[in-house]
Amino acid sequence: MTQPSAPKDIEKMVFNTAKAMAIAEGGYVTRGVVKLYIEDARKVLLDVAKSAKRHKWTVEELILALDPPKPKPKPWEKYEGPPQRGGP
């Protein structure tokens, strides 16, 4: 079992979610702008947690569903495709 590197701080998660929402909206992202998204970010995180609990998802399953592992390319795949032009 892994040890957490820092104490759990939900406010950091809410702030980072609000920051991501502000970035997605576009424009400048300042601390003041991010504060406008704090309440919405908290609602989003709460809704995600409630939905995951209702559907009996574990945290690991949720992470895998949202960010599936990428398959490693085979060694020969770098040679597939059109030949590269090189040299003079």
pLDDT at res. 86? 62
The Cα–Cα gap between 39 and 60 comes to 26
Task: Please give the model's pTM, rounded to 2 decimal places.
Answer: 0.66
Mean predicted confidence (pLDDT) in 59-85: 80
pLDDT at res. 35? 93
The rounded percent of the chain whose pLDDT value lies above 90 is: 58
For the chain, the DSSP string reads: -PPPSS---HHHHHHHHHHHHHHHH-S---HHHHHHHHHHHHHHHHHHHHHHHHTT--HHHHHHHHSPPPPPPPGGGGG-SSPPP---
Mean predicted confidence (pLDDT) in 60-66: 92
Mean predicted confidence (pLDDT) in 49-64: 93
The answer on pLDDT for 51 being more than 90 is yes
The Cα–Cα gap between 22 and 36 comes to 9
Mean predicted confidence (pLDDT) in 27-46: 93
